[in-house]
Structure 1
Amino acid sequence: MGFLSHSVSVTALAGAMLLAAPAVAQQAAPGDSDAATQRAAAIASEPVETPAATGEVVVTGSRIQRPNVASAAPITSVTAQDIRAQAPLNVEEVLNRLPQVAPDSQQNYQDSDGRQRIKLRSLGFERTLVLIDGKRLGTQNGQDTGIIPPSLLERVDVLTGGASSVYGSDAVAGVVNFILRPSFDGIRLDANYSFYNHQNKGTTAGDAARGAGVTPVRGLTNDGGRSDLTLTAGKKLFDDKLSLMGFVNYRQANFVPYNARSTSACEVQQPVADGPLSCTTTTYAPGGYVRPAVTGGPEYINNPDGTRSFVPFGQSNAAFDRRGYPLQRDMERVNAGGFATLTLAPEAELYGSAIWFKDTSYNRYPTRVLNSGTYGSAPYQVNCDNPFLSGSQAAALCGAATGTSALAPIDVGYRFDNLPYTFDEYVNRGIRATAGIRGKVGTAWTYDVGGVFARNQQDVAFGDIPDVTRVNNSLNVVNVNGTPTCASVVNGTDPNCIPFDAFSAGNDGSVMSYLLAGNRARTRGVGTLWDVTANMTGDLGDYGVTSPFANDGVAIALGAEYRKDSYRSTANGAYRALYSGTDFDASQDVWESNIEVQAPLVQEKPFAHLLQANGGYRVSKYSSSPDTFSTWKLEGLWAPVRDLTLRASFNKAQRAPTVIEIRQATNIGFSRQGGARGDFCAPTRNADGSLGAPVASLDVCRATGLSDALYGTPTLLCPDNSCTIRSGGFNADPETAYTQTYGFVARPRFVPGLTFSVDYYRIKIDNSLGYNDDNYYLDGCLRSGGDPFFCSGIVRDASGTLYAAAGSNPTSGFIRAGTTNYYRSIARGLDFQAQYTLDAGGAGRFDWGFTGSLTTFAGGQDSPIQPERNCAGYYGNGCGQLIPKWSHGLRTTWTSVDKAFNASLNWRHVGSLTNANNSGDAAIGGTPDREQATYYRIGAQDYFDLALTFNVTQQVALRLIANNLLDRVAPFVPNSYNISLARNNTIPQRYDPLGRQIVVGATVNF
């Protein structure tokens, strides 16, 4: 199977190099420009001309605007026609198909906040600069590309490789530039409606569910409807000197639950490597989960037969409540905006724009009384003469205190199936406005002075959460004349208390009206950007500054920029009670200036059709850093003949931390995660309750500062296996990145219509900034055998323990976590692009398009004495980016002679992924003792998408699209939450968890 997958990939690459190119578009719908021309220019690294009012050229990767300029950095373009062929609801769906982008899917997993962010080379959104028409989208922390309606896009340019000297220090991994439709005259309606059409069959997840007493769905399912409607109106006035355009966009998606697919009938885990599969159990059971709050104590479920007795908690009586979680979230989004340009003279054009959006999405949870661990380490309390307790129940919970008014510590988890689900609500809204003036000065110079204001706000309201004080009041119940009554009612401290019968199955849930009391935890984050830029470009050839061997003169760009990034975070009392933390308001100011030069050295000479050198330099001063730092680029192009261009680019960038990274690094906070963070030097607890040997060796424990005398002693046991975690207290210094790209572009004259390119990239980030949780230090210290770099994050107190007193601000007794600089991040690989257009005369026209990426290294080095960690093609053990070694897209489009119809077939190939335990590389945990025999590999996946377009008239185009045409089932991945933060037994960011999608769409010009 592996050989076949590899052979298919190689064949695809070879075929593309011979007769293909990046995703060629379908035939243009009414009003669209020619896609093939745009894409060929992009591959050939020449600018794509946008017909704006002044006829300026929009070039991604350079501030210099001149005809036929060549870029030394590879650029991938996705045109409006490509986008229409996909019928995306969100721009992230467009970018997910590009192999250079780490895919995301904010609507398909629970731990998402709905914001769409872009991560080139899987290096994080903080290192990817996002632009709209060459200007910043917004602040790095608050940005949300959901503000961009896909129907308004002219194209998307993706520049991979460093571009910091041109755009700013945060363009370490590259730039994504969304080019919007510049102007429009008339009225246009774009509409798409889609739904999923999936055949549920027998699956591994379904078998596991059936073994747990859960019946998976079978048969054909149609669900998940999505709508996208855009109305655009524009008008040109005063001999086209004034151009006005506005739009309104509405998008929505319907909820799809896990249990609508046999692949997610329950959350499947494999607790022990190569062990049996099982459905994840939850203590939030309709029968009511009860446990005496003692370490290792028994766990009970109220007997479902109605008797007040306990039965042991286990898979047979646990509730698999995640079946109702969202496989596709409810989502609704409204966009509106306008654009205007006014040409006063060739020397002056005024421009401005504004886009507003509001996006609301939901996560669903069963209505329930939460376990006491949600509120900290203190258990609930029940009085031992509670009238709801039978004698046997009281004895199990209270022992000798049964029948007395003594309070016994317990834990309770109770789910109310007869009540509606509760919702976490995520509301993202934002506005982005631009204004400026641009024009020409004489024949040599152009200028652009303008600014961007962007504000993104996120409001999160977590589902109604019971108040811990009220839960304890409702569990302290006495008998008053035969009526169970809260003790707080009797003594007058809480006259509204309603007793909670947590000790019988089938509670009607009326107590929730008291426990909740509208106590929703709410938080708000607001990111704001003010950005003012002044840029001037000139052709010094007008002044005679031209190489004696070249036709074109030296071009230059000069720029200055001021930015202010701000982020404000607030929360209400209910949120602080649950998650602690404090409100904050952080900002930083940035002053930058830059210069860029393009110097053609030789043109149209033997063995030098073009020889050109480019350079750029930027100086940056951040208010958060005492030092000024610089970035630069050096580039070269050599075309020995017109058919072949060789190119190379070298970039150095220093990225200052964002305001959030500074906050995460410096702010100190403490937390505990019940049952999740034990001390690896403490004794382990065996199934029978006895104590065994520690996980870590004596040498490793010495490296954490532990004395030999305490090694393996019960003193080190953290209560409830919940050691203290301290986040923050680090420095956050700028990181330094070096990016190199080498490649070539070929357009052989002997094969008309063929263009292809190959580029090698190499990115190294020193002093890399990133967030490391407590497991980073625990696992790193353990795996490395005591490396001080990791073990220094385990800070013991004088008694050797890792459990600091609650409410204190300790200087020891914790495991560290937070944002800081670590040693090095590395990314290496090759990108391939190609296009071939064949005019078949009476048979119409064929277009082939290809883009592929071979990742040879994705990872880094944690410390100077640790080996490099290469996660390309692997997952698990800290390899969280899920990057296959090879992936590609190949689109074939046929257009009829009269251009009234076309058919476009796209092939998406996602390479295989292997569990890092089976990598054979000890640096990522691939040691013989960890090797797995089952469920250690995700095979290569192939998806096919078909788009049919009917240009009915000059004004009307109809579309019929089937994405995932063959209804390919997403690969099964047990323990998926540990891999992708999704509980649906796959990786929804990388694969399609919902099956075939059918789309009907139309574009109408009035």
Structure 2
Amino acid sequence: MKIQHSASWLALSAASMLFAAPAIAQQAGATGAQATAPQGDADQASNQNPGTLSADAAATRSAAISGTPQAASSGDVVVTGTRISRPNLASAAPITSVTRQDIQAQAAVNVEDVLNRLPQVAPDSQQTYNDSDGRQRIKLRSLGFERTLVLIDGKRLGTQNGQDVGIIPTSLLQRVDVLTGGASSVYGSDAVAGVVNFVLRKDFEGVQIDTNYNFYNHNNKDTIVSPLARAAGFSSPRGLTNDGGRADLTLTAGTKLFDDKLHVSGFVNYRHTDEVPITARSNSGCYLTQLQLNGPLSCGLTPSSSTSGLITPGTGPNQGAQLVNNPNGSRTFVPFAAGPGNASNYFSGYAYQRPSERVNAGGFVTLDLAPEAELYASGIWFRDKSYTDYPTIASGTVNVNCNNPYLSGSQATTIGCAAGVGSVPVTLAYRLGENNDRPDTFINTGLRLTGGVRGKVGDAWTYDVGGVYARNHQDYIPSIRIPGNLQNAVNVGGTQANPTCANGAAGCVPFDIFSAGNTNPALINYLFGTGTNQTIGTLYDVQANVTGDLTSYGITSPFAEQGLAIALGTEYRKDTLKSRADAAYLSAVGGSDTDLSQDVIEANIEVQAPLIQHKPFAELVQVNGGYRVSKYSSNPKSFNTWKIEGVYAPVSDITFRASFNKAQRAPTVVEIRQATNIAFANGGSGTFTDFCAPTPIPGPNGVTYGAPIASREVCRATGLSDALYGSQSLLCSNGTAPNGSAACAVRSGGFTADPETAYTQTYGLVLKPRFVRGLVFSVDRYRIKIDNSLGYNDYSYYTDGCLRSGGDQFFCQGIVRNASTGTLFNGGYIRQGTTNYYTSVAQGWDFQAQYALNLESIGRLDFGFNGSLTTNAGGQDSPLQPNRNCAGYYGNGCGQLIPKWSHGLRTTYTTEDKKFSASFNWRYVGALTNANNSGDPAIGGTPERALTDYYRVAPQNYFDLAFNFAIAKQFSLRLIANNLLDRAAPIVPDSYNISLARTNTIPQRYDSLGRNIAIGTTINF
């Protein structure tokens, strides 16, 4: 899609027309400069009528676009992206702000609801992701959560690996600032993609209750999935449904004491989410798959199972045949196929919206000891419990005794029992009822504490010495199959009327696998239990920062009024990660306990130097710089990050800005373990063979051997001598190999993961025309290039890359052969684990605009526009490979799911008395195309791979409407409808390969559950 797409033109044209209205009709207020003034009065009005979108919201957004600092309600200037706070400060990097009023207009329950609407953020929807662990993470520019630094009031949220922004109640947010681009020199090496800073309301006085309840109101209509689901014997609903209720309740209280020197406030927040089953939507009645290129769509029955019991004989005349017990009770077999009573809907128990329950509680305290010293502290505690349903399937290969009383004569013959045969092997996949699924449980608890002292020293200097302690504890409690119990239960003796477990195992419950519909609860409890794996992450962070305005010392440019400003800081951090598992978990799942830690010491300096101010053709010329040096315990060398920025405003109406950043990110403690912990495994789960060995060809007269898959040149690049090319000695035992050979080995770890290096450039233009008061418009070009990009690769990254590239050493070096025999066993192996890629790239344009239109005596209109054009999202796998540009594409490793263009345009009308407001929002998500149809061979877009159907997701338009009523001074009411027109989710076959979701869509990107209706209130006492 190009920006010339009609919808994109429409969005930009609408924004231009709205923002170009005659100046005579505009309000003189909310300019960027005015937004820097203390907003105590405005915030007091907002507290009185908290449901109304007031003028200070527009001012905040205008300030964010222009880059000016924003005042918290206490009068303190809060700046994101720099440690220097000055009234005239203009950001050289683009910042997007979401205000409290915007958040209320969205009826947001979770923080991810707020951020998913921003084009700069890769959407993440843990509530609609069945395999979630309940934690919400942020990924700017789709560069991964490890590269996005999350702050609360300018201090770290917690550890990168244990990040969970669900700790923050949306009702407590004053605003959210998103700075995209490198910020490592200011905040730390992990701010490669940028910073998200959550600014909280901490100075609250009085008592306030915020409530929010929303649910989905969706009209199910038949889709392409519906007839396929019904033909397979599965349901596909029709008609209107109301489900998926989510409740959010917050109690906030605060007071000032001792002549306002001591301020104390606290909150308690409760959230509850109801489950929406995957079968509650007509687009997900079954998992839609396309088994062959351009073949027909079908309901995926793999992994195969049946509520009637799927049995595959391992011997005899029907060896390998898939059979199920006849549902009519005749104790006969019928072939496994789609249809009622035969195949079960494997994913029927999955959740479209996961059930969860969360409690957050916390408090804030400040104490003014003197003008030079203020003590501050805060604490937030949380507990979140969520569930992931998986089908309860008794599966595995077992031996069936031929005198089993449940086994009929015809069934015995079918599975291979005959005279003199005591037992036969069968592979079983028996689903014990679609309503008996046992959930995996995730319990996340944690604590975040901050504290310190800050103040002023003279007129020029301020300081802040403090720290953060954060602890995240996760209990993962999966449902697990108890080893050995399935075989015990299948080995049945006695009679049908009085069956027994033949081996007499204690507590054993006999399992009738030869009849349909077994749902015995006692049997389920015998076969399945639970285990617990605990993961604990901690952050210790101590900082000391000093800022100074050196104007009073005379360190000033002769052409400027303000002098040099400087910030100095030092920081010590320690991240730890521990995991422990009980015996039940280890016996069923495996693994081992871990103790990981990493320390870092950093020091930084930042300067701001106005060179020219208020001169002809130079209203402002300013340069900024920053430098940080970091020493990580996991790396023998220190490394540095820096920034150089420039701001030029020829007149006050026009500002040009540019920022250049170098950032280096050290691996997290988890990445370090994945890189260094040495473990060997059988490659490919028993299916991988050496592509330089001869190809086994099974035949009626035994196995013969053909030519190797790889060419002689490719094998030579892996270190194999020409003399061994095609030798049977290379065959691994996990293929068809001669006796005595070993399995191909995959070595995970034992390698160094070096820091990655990122270079970020942004160039922007900010317009605040004086003849159109209230208008702020910005456009910024960004480019992020990450060298030696850190990431996890399994063994196929090296084998496939080496084979496809024709012997590229970048990939082939991951195949390490035995020095003397050339084998991939007995000392040879293939690499796997965290390692350094070649490069990752993100490029594009950001557009923002804000405009306020005064309608004289009838009220006010506010317009806010935020759009993003992505031109490049991908990178290079090696120096010899072409650039992979995944912008606008999905599939074939294009996992970013980034449309080329997306935007949001919100229009808000507020009455003159601010007792009523109506807000209308238009969200546009650009088209996504399967990479097979890209025409770009670098991402698999070759003619032979091109799809003829279901290869494109059309652009999606969503409209939201919010009404706010300030009914009384102490009470406000909000009525909201998101996805007002109930637009159904676009259907994407094989969605798990695209979005890790079984819902036949991309729930992270689209409003997949339909219209969302919400009612919210705010009550002040």
TM-score by length of 1: 0.93
Relative distance call for 1:153 and 1:704 in structure 2 (3 A) is same
SS in 1 for 2:139: coil
Find 2:754's aligned residue among 733, 737, 744.
733
SS in 1 for 2:769: coil
For residue 413 of structure 1, what is the aligned residue in structure 2?
429
Q: CA deviation at 1:312?
A: 2.2
Find 1:445's aligned residue among 458, 461, 478.
461
CA distances 1:431-484 after superposition (whole Å, capped 9, x unpaired): 101111100000000000001100011111112x22131112222334489954
Matches within 5 A, 1:381-460: 381-398=399-416, 403-406=420-423, 408-417=424-433, 420-460=436-476
For residue 229 of structure 1, what is the aligned residue in structure 2?
249
Q: CA deviation at 1:684?
A: 9.0
Q: What one-letter code is carried by the residue in structure 2 that aligns with 1:234?
A: G
Task: Decide whether the 8 Å contact of 1:235 with 1:244 is kept in 2.
Answer: yes
Q: What one-letter code is carried by the residue in structure 2 that aligns with 1:332?
A: E
Task: Decide whether the 8 Å contact of 1:384 with 1:403 is kept in 2.
Answer: no
Provide the C-alpha distance between the structure 2 equivalents of 1:6 and 1:544, rounded to a whole number of angstroms. Answer: 54
Task: Decide whether the 8 Å contact of 2:3 with 2:9 is kept in 1.
Answer: no
Greater shift, 985-994 or 699-708, is seen at 699-708
SS in 1 for 2:230: helix
Q: What one-letter code is carried by the residue in structure 1 that aligns with 2:128?
A: N
Task: Confirm whether residue 768 of structure 1 aligns to residue 756 of structure 2.
Answer: no
SS in 2 for 1:621: strand
Task: Decide whether the 8 Å contact of 1:419 with 1:509 is kept in 2.
Answer: no
Q: CA deviation at 1:674?
A: 8.3
For residue 726 of structure 2, what is the aligned residue in structure 1?
709
For residue 386 of structure 2, what is the aligned residue in structure 1?
361
Provide the C-alpha distance between the structure 2 equivalents of 1:31 and 1:211, rounded to a whole number of angstroms. Answer: 55
Q: What one-letter code is carried by the residue in structure 2 that aligns with 1:738?
A: Y
For residue 376 of structure 2, what is the aligned residue in structure 1?
351
SS in 1 for 2:840: strand
CA distances 1:280-332 after superposition (whole Å, capped 9, x unpaired): 11423111111234898222212222233322222332111312310111111
Q: CA deviation at 1:503?
A: 2.1
For residue 119 of structure 1, what is the aligned residue in structure 2?
139
Task: Decide whether the 8 Å contact of 2:432 with 2:524 is kept in 1.
Answer: no
For residue 306 of structure 1, what is the aligned residue in structure 2?
329
Provide the C-alpha distance between the structure 2 equivalents of 1:692 and 1:924, rounded to a whole number of angstroms. Answer: 33
Q: CA deviation at 1:505?
A: 1.4
Q: CA deviation at 1:908?
A: 0.7
Relative distance call for 1:266 and 1:362 in structure 2 (3 A) is same
Task: Decide whether the 8 Å contact of 1:216 with 1:265 is kept in 2.
Answer: yes
Provide the C-alpha distance between the structure 1 equivalents of 2:518 and 2:874, rounded to a whole number of angstroms. Answer: 51
For residue 990 of structure 1, what is the aligned residue in structure 2?
1005
Q: CA deviation at 1:794?
A: 4.8
Task: Confirm whether residue 516 of structure 1 aligns to residue 527 of structure 2.
Answer: yes
Relative distance call for 1:386 and 1:695 in structure 2 (3 A) is farther
For residue 664 of structure 1, what is the aligned residue in structure 2?
674
Provide the C-alpha distance between the structure 2 equivalents of 1:609 and 1:630, rounded to a whole number of angstroms. Answer: 33
Q: CA deviation at 1:896?
A: 1.3
Task: Confirm whether residue 45 of structure 1 aligns to residue 67 of structure 2.
Answer: yes
For residue 375 of structure 1, what is the aligned residue in structure 2?
none
SS in 2 for 1:863: coil
Find 1:635's aligned residue among 627, 645, 664.
645
Q: CA deviation at 1:68?
A: 1.9
Q: What one-letter code is carried by the residue in structure 2 that aligns with 1:428?
A: N
Task: Decide whether the 8 Å contact of 1:672 with 1:723 is kept in 2.
Answer: yes
Q: What one-letter code is carried by the residue in structure 2 that aligns with 1:709?
A: G
SS in 1 for 2:750: coil
Provide the C-alpha distance between the structure 2 equivalents of 1:580 and 1:123, rounded to a whole number of angstroms. Answer: 31
Provide the C-alpha distance between the structure 2 equivalents of 1:109 and 1:673, rounded to a whole number of angstroms. Answer: 29
Task: Decide whether the 8 Å contact of 2:600 with 2:632 is kept in 1.
Answer: yes
Matches within 5 A, 1:283-294: 283-293=304-314
Provide the C-alpha distance between the structure 2 equivalents of 1:141 and 1:827, rounded to a whole number of angstroms. Answer: 23
For residue 328 of structure 1, what is the aligned residue in structure 2?
353
Task: Decide whether the 8 Å contact of 1:20 with 1:850 is kept in 2.
Answer: no
Greater shift, 386-395 or 740-749, is seen at 386-395
Task: Decide whether the 8 Å contact of 1:30 with 1:1003 is kept in 2.
Answer: no
Provide the C-alpha distance between the structure 1 equivalents of 2:698 and 2:59, rounded to a whole number of angstroms. Answer: 68
For residue 896 of structure 2, what is the aligned residue in structure 1?
881
TM-score by length of 2: 0.91
Provide the C-alpha distance between the structure 2 equivalents of 1:481 and 1:600, rounded to a whole number of angstroms. Answer: 91
Q: CA deviation at 1:795?
A: 5.5
Q: CA deviation at 1:643?
A: 0.3
Task: Confirm whether residue 7 of structure 1 aligns to residue 6 of structure 2.
Answer: yes
Q: CA deviation at 1:56?
A: 2.5
**How many residue pairs end up in the alignment?**
980
Matches within 5 A, 1:227-626: 227-281=247-301, 282-293=303-314, 297-316=320-339, 317-369=342-394, 371-372=395-396, 379-398=397-416, 403-406=420-423, 408-417=424-433, 420-463=436-479, 465-479=480-494, 483-489=498-504, 494-510=505-521, 512-513=523-524, 515-516=526-527, 519-626=529-636
Relative distance call for 1:742 and 1:277 in structure 2 (3 A) is same
Find 1:745's aligned residue among 766, 783, 787.
766
For structure 2, list consecutive stretches of 5 or more residues without a partner in the other structure.
21-30, 36-41, 738-742
Greater shift, 693-702 or 868-877, is seen at 693-702
Aligned Cα RMSD in Å? 3.0
For residue 905 of structure 1, what is the aligned residue in structure 2?
920
Q: What one-letter code is carried by the residue in structure 1 that aligns with 2:328?
A: D
Relative distance call for 1:7 and 1:708 in structure 2 (3 A) is same
CA distances 1:903-954 after superposition (whole Å, capped 9, x unpaired): 1011111111111111111111111111111111111111111000011122
Matches within 5 A, 1:671-682: 678-679=688-689, 681=691
For residue 213 of structure 1, what is the aligned residue in structure 2?
233
Provide the C-alpha distance between the structure 2 equivalents of 1:677 and 1:240, rounded to a whole number of angstroms. Answer: 72
Task: Decide whether the 8 Å contact of 1:394 with 1:403 is kept in 2.
Answer: no
For residue 27 of structure 2, what is the aligned residue in structure 1?
none
Q: CA deviation at 1:187?
A: 0.6
Provide the C-alpha distance between the structure 2 equivalents of 1:906 and 1:477, rounded to a whole number of angstroms. Answer: 64
Provide the C-alpha distance between the structure 2 equivalents of 1:427 and 1:623, rounded to a whole number of angstroms. Answer: 31
CA distances 1:564-595 after superposition (whole Å, capped 9, x unpaired): 11111111223223332211111111111110
SS in 1 for 2:225: helix
Task: Confirm whether residue 836 of structure 1 aligns to residue 859 of structure 2.
Answer: no
Q: CA deviation at 1:691?
A: 9.9
SS in 1 for 2:122: coil
Relative distance call for 1:692 and 1:397 in structure 2 (3 A) is farther
Q: What one-letter code is carried by the residue in structure 1 that aligns with 2:643?
A: K
| % identical aligned pairs | 62
Task: Decide whether the 8 Å contact of 1:366 with 1:421 is kept in 2.
Answer: yes
Task: Decide whether the 8 Å contact of 1:270 with 1:278 is kept in 2.
Answer: yes
Provide the C-alpha distance between the structure 1 equivalents of 2:772 and 2:497, rounded to a whole number of angstroms. Answer: 95
CA distances 1:360-398 after superposition (whole Å, capped 9, x unpaired): 1111123331x33xxxxxx43333443333344334434
For structure 1, list consecutive stretches of 5 or more residues without a partner in the other structure.
373-378, 805-809
Greater shift, 777-786 or 707-716, is seen at 707-716
Relative distance call for 1:213 and 1:487 in structure 2 (3 A) is closer
Greater shift, 844-853 or 687-696, is seen at 687-696
Provide the C-alpha distance between the structure 2 equivalents of 1:299 and 1:714, rounded to a whole number of angstroms. Answer: 31
Provide the C-alpha distance between the structure 1 equivalents of 2:407 and 2:717, rounded to a whole number of angstroms. Answer: 50
Greater shift, 595-604 or 726-735, is seen at 726-735
Provide the C-alpha distance between the structure 2 equivalents of 1:693 and 1:325, rounded to a whole number of angstroms. Answer: 45
Matches within 5 A, 1:765-804: 765-794=786-815
Task: Decide whether the 8 Å contact of 1:913 with 1:939 is kept in 2.
Answer: yes
